Structure 1
Amino acid sequence: MDSDKLGHYSKTFITDVPADLGSPEAQHFKQTIRRFPDEAIYIYSFKENRMMYADGWEPLLGYRDDEITMMTIVNITAPEYAPFSNELNDKALMFLHNKTKDLEQYSFTIELKKIHKDGTHVPLISKVGVFATEEGRVTAIIGHSQKNESIQLGNVMRYAAYGPDKSAFEEELNKQLFRHYAISEKEKEALSLVAEGFSFKEIAARFGVSQSAIEKRIIPMYKRFEVKSLTHLISFAYANHILP
């Protein structure tokens, strides 16, 4: 993938500079940041335009920790997931750059495949969150990528947003990413209850929102997934592993 295919924010902030793992800063992160089995971690600094820390990438994707870069992580996304993944990263950064409070509480997750150095595809759950801020601006992010062979990845990209203004965060991503075959965790939750036989009114009561709010989560999926009815939408969701 060419860097020209990245969004405006990605092209501005992402570089090909690896972490200096011998630095006191990296050694501090190694002692203080816990890494789980089958997981790789990175910390990327927008302030310094480089990786600050990397751990666990060789067993996960075949790249040494001292060679993995932010550009590499972006470029090894499987082709079918790359456009959506790049745009999600871009829109999330744009959203966060317009926020000034509680930035460290924001994060998002995405299910996708990365290409191992040996050419095989590895299914991952990746979570990206704000790691550091200065004067109301994001200066560093932290990413956790964990191998998960149990993920059944269909044609629909799955993601979730978290933070104090979670609804606005997810709605902004939904609006920007509508042209992709994608579904947010909030949409998936509502759809799973529809599949169980609950009415929009009952779902609204469960979530403590209006019925129209639930309709706005469900009805737009008709056009996005090119289905003609609620029954068709539910069968599409099962066929594409959106619902178990």
Structure 2
Amino acid sequence: MDSKKDYGDYSKNFISDVPADIESAEALHFNQTIPRFPEEAIYIYSFKLNKMIYACGWEEVVGYKDDEINMLAIVNMSAPEFAPFSHDLNDKALKFIHHKTKDLEKYSFTIELKKVHKNGSLVPILARVGVYSSENGKVTAIIGRFQINRSLIFGKVMRYAAYGPEKEKFEEELNKILFSHLAISDKEKEALALVAKGYSFKEIAHELKVSHSAIEKRIIPLYKRFDVKSLTHLVSFAYDNSILP
């Protein structure tokens, strides 16, 4: 878990294996002001200092004490089948956000994956990473929340979502870059769920208040990505791989 070569080419320039000083005044302030749910681990990582500045709940979630957990370890503890996609998603999302200058704290993304516990067991996690602070149009710190979610059902398709003022563009850019992975975004899944209910593309566009072409852009690329030949086959694939309940 200590090699940067496993992380994205872009993000590796910004992360370190320096843990937080959990007794610092800043960390103690975060303890008092940032709410944490049961079975949830939180970190704040500073790009200005290139180190973790806050960590809480990690022993409960993945077995590592808060004063030993670090950003590189968090990245590299993804289960092997999730690691390549997780690394690419983190990499491309950070690159996208770094090119934005306004409303930075409103950007975030989620991913469902498994992390390897210190004892070797696999932990089902819903992770959300977002911008915590910025200065002069540049991201200065990010916050991550890793919640154990035992209700997650994993297939071979990775699931993720993007959020922010330019959500559509954010997700569209991620879709382009992550096309080589078996993955589906929240927007694609939303449209696919309506396909499964028998809605036409026109009806889906009306339901979601977007254009007909926007729905085509969400559904048609899934044919090639999942190697299916028809809508019926696509819906069947979605059920077989736990994309749809």
Q: Give TM class, smaller chain.
A: over 0.9
Cα-to-partner distance string for 1:185-217 (whole Å, 9 max, x where unaligned): 000000000000100000011122221110111
Task: Provide the residue aligned with 1:156 in structure 2.
Answer: 157
Aligned-partner SS, 1:154: coil
Cα-to-partner distance string for 1:87-128 (whole Å, 9 max, x where unaligned): 000000110111000000000000000000000000000000
Is 1:95 aligned with 2:96? Answer: yes
CA contact (8 A) 2:130 2:144 kept: yes
Task: Provide the residue aligned with 1:235 in structure 2.
Answer: 236
The alpha-carbon deviation at position 9 of structure 1 amounts to 2.1
Task: Provide the residue aligned with 2:143 in structure 1.
Answer: 142
**CA–CA separation in structure 1 for the residues paired with 2:162 and 2:99:** 16
**CA–CA separation in structure 1 for the residues paired with 2:215 and 2:113:** 27
**CA–CA separation in structure 2 for the residues paired with 1:31 and 1:212:** 48
Gaps of 5+ in 1: none
Is 1:127 aligned with 2:128? Answer: yes
The amino acid across from 1:234 in the alignment is V
The alpha-carbon deviation at position 3 of structure 1 amounts to 1.8
User: What is the root-mean-square deviation of aligned Cα atoms in Å?
Assistant: 0.7
Is 1:111 aligned with 2:112? Answer: yes
Task: Provide the residue aligned with 1:178 in structure 2.
Answer: 179
**CA–CA separation in structure 2 for the residues paired with 1:5 and 1:151:** 26
Identity %: 69
Aligned-partner SS, 1:8: coil
Task: Provide the residue aligned with 1:210 in structure 2.
Answer: 211
**CA–CA separation in structure 2 for the residues paired with 1:47 and 1:225:** 40
**CA–CA separation in structure 1 for the residues paired with 2:177 and 2:119:** 34
Aligned-partner SS, 1:28: helix
Task: Provide the residue aligned with 2:82 in structure 1.
Answer: 81
Task: Provide the residue aligned with 2:37 in structure 1.
Answer: 36
Cα-to-partner distance string for 1:29-74 (whole Å, 9 max, x where unaligned): 0000000011000000011000000000001100000000000001
CA contact (8 A) 2:6 2:76 kept: no
Count of matched residue positions in the alignment of Structure 1 and Structure 2: 244
Task: Provide the residue aligned with 2:16 in structure 1.
Answer: 15
The alpha-carbon deviation at position 5 of structure 1 amounts to 2.7
Aligned-partner SS, 2:187: helix
TM-score (norm 1): 0.99
**CA–CA separation in structure 1 for the residues paired with 2:143 and 2:98:** 16
The alpha-carbon deviation at position 8 of structure 1 amounts to 2.2
The amino acid across from 1:165 in the alignment is E
**CA–CA separation in structure 1 for the residues paired with 2:179 and 2:77:** 24
**CA–CA separation in structure 2 for the residues paired with 1:200 and 1:132:** 40
The amino acid across from 1:72 in the alignment is A
**CA–CA separation in structure 1 for the residues paired with 2:60 and 2:143:** 19
The amino acid across from 2:53 in the alignment is M
**CA–CA separation in structure 2 for the residues paired with 1:99 and 1:43:** 20
The alpha-carbon deviation at position 10 of structure 1 amounts to 1.7
Q: Which runs of 4+ in 1 moved over 6 A?
A: none
